[in-house]
Chains A and B, each alone.
Chain A
C-alpha cells in the first residue's frame, strides 16, 4: 500500500472517530476540542490533495478563530453535563426529522457525483493559482461574499452597541 493511501485511511479514521466523539462527549468543552481534531484531520486531507493553502487556511479560520469563539461562549456560560436542560419529545422528533432530511440530501448529492479529475492538475490548491482563479473566474461571487461579511460585521457592531444614555452613566469609564 503506498504511503499516501495509508495516510488517507488513517486521517479518515481519525476524522470519523473524532466526529463521533464530538457528538457523544457529555462535556461541551470536550466536544469543541474534538471538533478541532476533526478540522486537523480534514487539513491533513487537503495536504494529501496538494492543497497546502486550503489546509492552512482551514486551520487558521476554523481551528484558530471560529473554535476559539465557540470555546469562549461555552466557557463563559460554564455549561456542565448535569445542567443540560431536558428537551421535550417534540424537540427530539423535530431534530430527528431535520437531521434525517439533511442526511437524505447528502446521500442523494453524493450518489450521483463523479470523481473530479482536477486532482491531476497539480497546484490548483496553491496560492498563486487560487488567487488568480478567485480574482478572474470567481470575482463576482468573491466580492458579493465579502460584502456579506461586511454587513455581518456592521450588524454585529450595531447589536453590540449599548444605548447611548446608559453608556454615559455606567460604561464610559470602564
Chain B
C-alpha cells in the first residue's frame, strides 16, 4: 500500500475542514429555507397577490413556521410499505443533495493566525466527475422512496423521475466536455482560477462568453435534474396525484421537498462556478485589491459576488416555474434525446475544431 499524503493530517487542518463543512451545510440549509420563502413571495408577486406576510415582519419567519409545522405533524408509515427503505428514501435524497457542496470553491482563501485556509472542502482533481457521480446517485432517493411506498402512483412517478434524470445526465455530460476541452482541467478550483485570468478584471475570461451553447444545454439539464418546472413530471399532480412522495408525511415529506431547494442552490453554485467565474469579481483585479485591503476582505467580497450569482440563478429557477407550463412526457424525452444530445455533440465538434486550428 502506498502512503498517501492527504491522509496524513494534522489537527488544525482537520478542525478547519470540519468547521468549513459545518458552515457550508448550515449555510446551504438556511439559503434553501429562504428560497422556499422567496418562491412563495415571487409567486405572489407574479400572480398579483401578497404571498405569505403573517409570520413576522413581511412574513420573514414563514420558513421557520413551515418547518415547525412539518416537524410536529403526525408521522404515518404505510402498513404495506417496505419500512427500512421507506425511511432510507428521504435520507438519501437529502444526502445526495448536500454531497456536491464538498467540491465547490466558495471563495479564494483567508488567513487566520498565519494559516492560509482555502474556502473549499476538497480540491480533488476530478471535481466535475465527482459532481456527476453524486448527481447519478440522486436517482436513488426518488426511486427508493417511490417504490417502497407500495403505491402505483408513487412508483410511476419514481420511474418517470429516474428515467428523466438518466436521460438528461447524458446531455449534461456532453455539454460539459466542450468546456473541459477549453479548460483542460477537471478541478473546479482550477476552472475558476483560469476564468479569473481574463481581461477586464476576469470578466472576459468567463466561460459563458466562449461556450454559450454549452451553458444553455447545461442549464436546461440542471432544470431537469432538479425536477423543476417545466420538467417536474415526477410531481405532476394532475396525472399522478402528488408524485413519488405521496405516501410521505411529517418531516420525511419535508426532507423530500427541502432537498429540491438544496439541489437548486447547489446546482446554481455549480453553474456559476463553471460558466460565470465562480467567486471572481468582474471588472476588479483581485490580486491588486488584496494588496491594498487584505486577503480576508477580498475573500469575503468574492464570496458575496459568488452568492449574488447564485441568487440570480435561484431567481431564474423560480421565475421559470411561475411562467412556463410543464411539458408532456414524450416532449420531455424528445427534447432530451433528439435535440439536446445532438446539439451538445455538434458543439463538442465545433469546439474541438476551433481548438485544433487555434493551436496550430
Residues on A facing B (Cβ under 8 Å): 2-5, 7-8, 27, 29-30, 33, 36, 48-50, 52-53, 56-57, 59-60, 63-65, 68, 71-72, 75-76, 119-120, 122, 126-127, 174
Asked if B129 and A53 sit within 8 Å, CB to CB, the answer is: yes
For chain B residues 1-15, which have a beta carbon within 8 Å of chain A? 1-4, 7-8
Binds A, one of B33-41, B54-62, B136-144, B254-262: B136-144
Among A5, A7, A29, the one with the most B-chain Cβ atoms within 10 Å of its Cβ is A29
A56 and B85 in contact (CB under 8 A), knowing A4-B1, A72-B162? no
Residues in chain B near residue A127, CB distance under 8 A? 125-126, 186
A-B contact count (CB 8 A): 83
Asked if B133 and A64 sit within 8 Å, CB to CB, the answer is: yes
Asked if B2 and A119 sit within 8 Å, CB to CB, the answer is: yes
A59 and B133 in contact (CB under 8 A), knowing A53-B126, A68-B139, A71-B143? yes
A64 and B129 in contact (CB under 8 A), knowing A4-B1, A122-B2? no
Give the CA-CA distance A27 to B8 in the complex, in Å: 41
Residues in chain B near residue A52, CB distance under 8 A? 124-126
Asked if A4 and B3 sit within 8 Å, CB to CB, the answer is: yes
Asked if B147 and A48 sit within 8 Å, CB to CB, the answer is: no
Closest-CB distance, B159 to chain A (whole angstroms): 7
Give the CA-CA distance A5 to B85 in the complex, in Å: 33
Asked if A64 and B136 sit within 8 Å, CB to CB, the answer is: yes
Within 8 Å by CB of B1, from A5, A57, A65, A122, lies A5
Between A and B, 27 residue pairs with Cβ closer than 8 Å are A2-B3, A3-B7, A4-B1, A4-B7, A30-B85, A49-B2, A53-B126, A56-B130, A56-B132, A56-B133, A57-B129, A59-B136, A59-B137, A60-B133, A64-B139, A65-B136, A68-B139, A68-B140, A68-B143, A68-B162, A68-B166, A71-B140, A71-B147, A72-B159, A127-B125, A127-B186, A174-B330
Q: What 3 A-B pairs come out closest when comparing CB atoms?
A: A64-B136, A56-B129, A59-B133
Asked if B124 and A50 sit within 8 Å, CB to CB, the answer is: no
Known: A56-B126, A56-B132, A68-B139. 13 other contacts (CB 8 A): A3-B7, A4-B1, A4-B4, A36-B140, A52-B124, A52-B125, A59-B136, A60-B132, A60-B133, A68-B166, A71-B162, A75-B147, A76-B155
Asked if A29 and B147 sit within 8 Å, CB to CB, the answer is: yes
Verify if B28 is at the interface (C-beta below 8 Å from A). no
A75 and B3 in contact (CB under 8 A), knowing A56-B130, A60-B129, A65-B136? no
Residues in chain B near residue A29, CB distance under 8 A? 82, 85, 147
Among B3, B130, B136, the one with the most A-chain Cβ atoms within 10 Å of its Cβ is B136
Asked if A3 and B8 sit within 8 Å, CB to CB, the answer is: yes
Asked if B133 and A4 sit within 8 Å, CB to CB, the answer is: no
Closest-CB distance, B296 to chain A (whole angstroms): 31
Give the CA-CA distance A65 to B173 in the complex, in Å: 14
Residues in chain B near residue A5, CB distance under 8 A? 1
Give the CA-CA distance A111 to B159 in the complex, in Å: 45
When C-beta atoms are compared, the residue in chain A nearest to B138 turns out to be A64
A4 and B2 in contact (CB under 8 A), knowing A52-B125, A53-B126, A60-B129? yes
Give the CA-CA distance A18 to B3 in the complex, in Å: 26
Closest-CB distance, B25 to chain A (whole angstroms): 21
For chain B residues 132-164, which have a beta carbon within 8 Å of chain A? 132-133, 136-137, 139-140, 143-144, 147, 155, 158-159, 162
